[in-house]
A and B are shown apart, each in its own frame.
Chain A
Amino acid sequence: MGSLFGRLDDVTGDAGYGSSGDHPPRMGFFTDTSVCIGCKACEVACKEWNSVPDDGYVLTGMSYDNTESLGASTWRHVAFVEKPTTTTSSVDLGMPGNGPPAAAGQDQAAESGDESIRWLMSSDVCKHCTHAACLDVCPTGSLFRTEFGTVVVQADICNGCGYCVPACPYGVIDLREDDGRAFKCTLCYDRLKEGQTPACAQACPTESIQFGELSELRQRADHRLAELHEKGVDVARLYGRDPDDGVGGDGAFFLLLDEPEVYGLPPDPVVTTRDIGSIWKHVGAAAVTLAALGVATFAGRRR
């Protein structure tokens, strides 16, 4: 059995694919939200390629977001946050408009009408955690680690027990009600096997969604962060990049322009199985207590 918590440099090898030369490198996404324009091409491309069914049409009143959240039938979700700002920022994002296109690498902010609004847009996706709780708790072995280090559900094995649903610290995976089984992003496992780019990254017009070897994406993200900080965009931060975090780092990580919770992401997620040793220890102690209680029940007076 592999490791349950902490840094893990070869997650694929840890899952039983041999040493690092024997399997493909770990693949992932780096979603740079500072250049996301909220076009939702990723959502559409994902639905089309993966034949993900319709998940209803509701008007939420949450800015331009009528997708609401990730789920069994939503594997990419673009979040929209409108924040009124007091400062009239002169930093232009390069939103569609009639001015000249902005230089790349500027803060995601724009002025609209009489008050200025700070726009945050971010395309969320399954994080393909290094220590994936969904995979750890799956009792059937339906969820598995692929040779690319990603986490995928095998639909022909899943029996819809639903344990992965509350286990995910990001609230990504869910059961499809009419189908009964669990579904989530596969990082386009079928396309990866053919050496192709996942549908969402392929469709992204601004390269906000970047696909590649995780080690290279991390370097690229560090670069981008340094660049933004240099330009004075102090709010920029990486999320899920740190291999020492509570889930051992995400296979799909992000550059954000505000606190994670503003985008609906948990600020400091921890894989639940970090504590599985302590959990079983306490269960064992309680079971022994119950057995002892049973023995004591029959000891003493014969009444």
Chain B
Amino acid sequence: MSPRTRESVVPEAEFGSYYGRPILKEPTWKQPDVPLYLFLGGMAGASAVLAEGAAATDRPALERVARLAAAGGAAAGTVALVHDLGRPERFLNMLRVFKPTSPLSVGSFILAPFSALSGAAAVSQVTGWFPRLGRLAGVGATALGPPLATYTAALLANTAVPAWHDAHRELPFVFAGSGATAAGGLAMILTPVDQAGPARRMALAGAATEIVAAEALKKRLGMVGEPYHEGRPGRLMSASRTTTAVAAGATLLLGRRSRAVSVLAGAACVAASMATRFGIFQAGLASAKDPKYTVVPQRQRLDERRLADA
């Protein structure tokens, strides 16, 4: 059934509003800055894991690619984040306090050391200077990688935006999967196939995690999850799912044998991961803009409570 027919059979929920105006303020986070950062953070975090694994199992080509991806992703992500600020010159205020109630505060304390450590590891890798210190920095970046790839789910979930907040159980897994897909995909593009085995496996595992978590999310959210399958965010999400599945299939069948297939499938993984981030970001904007998603669940909750009290 196409989404259009589905829309027409489900009756629109009746709800009161003030001239149909939104109740919540639409997030002021800019595009592409913030969704791009979500992507880069995930890619960089998972790449750091890949880099350390490659170092431990003696895969120099993979290690080099993954170290550069971790450092490059973190640096570019930091630039995107600072660019998004209303007062970019005050970006250091992010490290002024530490607040566990603010994922942006916690995230700043993950991103800052991750950038420094992954940067140091990459510089050491490229120049050959201080190899031991470089490796140590790499280990540090690896420890911070998974938190960097997943805290951004808390960033979105810890808002009043219904499509984000209500998704807080699945969103971190979608982001973990999406980060792994991107890191694996990027390494598949840039690494010879004989060293890219772990990259392929990471992309596959990431793809599976991402698809399963995203489907679970949409299923559990019901009406509040509508923005994930309607309009532009819906198209981004479904394009991402299809691309991920096709790329995973190609990787599984031919990734080991053909460099060309490996490059194409890797690129598809990277693109799909990015589409997921933009889709989720835009679904939140749509969810904030329509008062339906704020009023209907709250009204229902209130009525149920009143009924229980009576």
- How far is B165's CA from A103's CA once the two chains are assembled, in angstroms? 46
Instruction: Determine whether the beta carbon of A139 is less than 8 Å from that of B176.
Output: no
User: Is A235 located at the chain interface by the 8 A CB criterion?
Assistant: no
Per-residue CB contact flags for chain A residues 171-206 toward chain B (1 = under 8 Å, else 0) read 111110001111000000000000000000000000
In the bound complex, residues from chain A placing their C-beta under 8 Å from that of B151 are 283, 287
Known: A1-B101, A142-B93. A179 touches B201 (CB 8 A): no
User: Is B104 located at the chain interface by the 8 A CB criterion?
Assistant: yes
In the bound complex, residues from chain A placing their C-beta under 8 Å from that of B176 are 286-287, 289-290, 293
Residue in A169, A181, A262, A269 whose beta carbon sits within 8 Å of that of B16 in the complex: A262
Instruction: Determine whether the beta carbon of B154 is less than 8 Å from that of A159.
Output: no
Instruction: Determine whether the beta carbon of B169 is less than 8 Å from that of A282.
Output: yes
In the bound complex, residues from chain B placing their C-beta under 8 Å from that of A278 are 168-169
- For chain A, the bracket of interface size reads 35 or more
Instruction: Determine whether the beta carbon of A261 is less than 8 Å from that of B295.
Output: yes
Chain B residue at minimal CB-CB distance from A275: B168
Residue in A267, A273, A297 whose beta carbon sits within 8 Å of that of B201 in the complex: A297
- How far is B40's CA from A79's CA once the two chains are assembled, in angstroms? 43
- How far is B16's CA from A261's CA once the two chains are assembled, in angstroms? 6
User: Is B229 located at the chain interface by the 8 A CB criterion?
Assistant: no
Within 8 A of A (CB), among B33-88: 45-46, 49-50, 53-54, 56-57, 84-88
- How far is B94's CA from A84's CA once the two chains are assembled, in angstroms? 51
Known: A293-B180, A296-B205, A297-B205. A136 touches B101 (CB 8 A): yes
User: Is A161 located at the chain interface by the 8 A CB criterion?
Assistant: yes
Instruction: Determine whether the beta carbon of A68 is less than 8 Å from that of B17.
Output: no
Instruction: Determine whether the beta carbon of B87 is less than 8 Å from that of A181.
Output: yes
User: Is A259 located at the chain interface by the 8 A CB criterion?
Assistant: yes
Within 8 A of B (CB), among A187-243: none
User: Is A298 located at the chain interface by the 8 A CB criterion?
Assistant: yes
User: Is A46 located at the chain interface by the 8 A CB criterion?
Assistant: no
Instruction: Determine whether the beta carbon of B105 is less than 8 Å from that of A139.
Output: yes
Segment with Cβ contacts to A, from B122-130, B133-141, B156-164, B264-272:
B156-164
User: Is A251 located at the chain interface by the 8 A CB criterion?
Assistant: no
Per-residue CB contact flags for chain B residues 185-206 toward chain A (1 = under 8 Å, else 0) read 0000000001001100110011
Chain B residue at minimal CB-CB distance from A81: B18
In the bound complex, residues from chain B placing their C-beta under 8 Å from that of A160 are 85-87, 90
Instruction: Determine whether the beta carbon of B18 is less than 8 Å from that of A158.
Output: no
Instruction: Determine whether the beta carbon of A287 is less than 8 Å from that of B180.
Output: no
In the bound complex, residues from chain B placing their C-beta under 8 Å from that of A182 are 86
User: Is A137 located at the chain interface by the 8 A CB criterion?
Assistant: yes
- How far is B199's CA from A294's CA once the two chains are assembled, in angstroms? 9
Residue in B21, B56, B172 whose beta carbon sits within 8 Å of that of A68 in the complex: B21
User: Is A58 located at the chain interface by the 8 A CB criterion?
Assistant: no
- State the interface size on chain B (CB cutoff 8 A): 84
Max count, chain A CB within 10 A of own CB: residue among B16, B101, B145, B159: B101
- How far is B105's CA from A142's CA once the two chains are assembled, in angstroms? 12
In the complex, what's the smallest C-beta–C-beta distance from A154 to chain B, in angstroms?
10
Instruction: Determine whether the beta carbon of A140 is less than 8 Å from that of B96.
Output: yes
In the bound complex, residues from chain A placing their C-beta under 8 Å from that of B201 are 296-297
User: Is B97 located at the chain interface by the 8 A CB criterion?
Assistant: yes
Within 8 A of B (CB), among A115-170: 133, 136-142, 157-163, 165-170
- How far is B165's CA from A273's CA once the two chains are assembled, in angstroms? 10
In the bound complex, residues from chain B placing their C-beta under 8 Å from that of A163 are 102, 104, 155, 159
- How far is B94's CA from A269's CA once the two chains are assembled, in angstroms? 28
In the bound complex, residues from chain B placing their C-beta under 8 Å from that of A81 are 18
In the bound complex, residues from chain A placing their C-beta under 8 Å from that of B97 are 139-141
Per-residue CB contact flags for chain A residues 274-303 toward chain B (1 = under 8 Å, else 0) read 011011101101111111011111100111
In the bound complex, residues from chain A placing their C-beta under 8 Å from that of B157 are 272, 275, 279
- How far is B176's CA from A296's CA once the two chains are assembled, in angstroms? 15
Max count, chain B CB within 10 A of own CB: residue among A133, A172, A269, A276: A276
Residue in B27, B164, B168, B284 whose beta carbon sits within 8 Å of that of A282 in the complex: B168
In the complex, what's the smallest C-beta–C-beta distance from B25 to chain A, in angstroms?
4
Segment with Cβ contacts to A, from B4-12, B218-226, B239-247, B298-306:
B298-306
In the bound complex, residues from chain A placing their C-beta under 8 Å from that of B299 are 259, 261, 267-268
In the bound complex, residues from chain B placing their C-beta under 8 Å from that of A168 are 24-25, 160
Residue in A172, A181, A262, A301 whose beta carbon sits within 8 Å of that of B197 in the complex: A301
- How far is B206's CA from A293's CA once the two chains are assembled, in angstroms? 8
Chain B residue at minimal CB-CB distance from A271: B160
Instruction: Determine whether the beta carbon of A1 is less than 8 Å from that of B29.
Output: no
User: Is A265 located at the chain interface by the 8 A CB criterion?
Assistant: yes
Instruction: Determine whether the beta carbon of A287 is less than 8 Å from that of B150.
Output: yes
User: Is B119 located at the chain interface by the 8 A CB criterion?
Assistant: no
User: Is A264 located at the chain interface by the 8 A CB criterion?
Assistant: yes
- How far is B96's CA from A7's CA once the two chains are assembled, in angstroms? 30
Q: 10 nearest interchain CB pairs? A: A160-B86, A180-B86, A264-B18, A286-B172, A159-B90, A294-B49, A139-B105, A287-B146, A303-B197, A268-B298
26 contacts between A and B (CB under 8 A): A69-B21, A81-B18, A139-B94, A140-B90, A160-B87, A165-B27, A166-B27, A166-B159, A167-B160, A169-B24, A180-B86, A182-B86, A259-B299, A261-B15, A261-B16, A261-B18, A263-B18, A264-B21, A268-B302, A276-B158, A278-B169, A279-B103, A280-B100, A293-B176, A298-B57, A302-B197
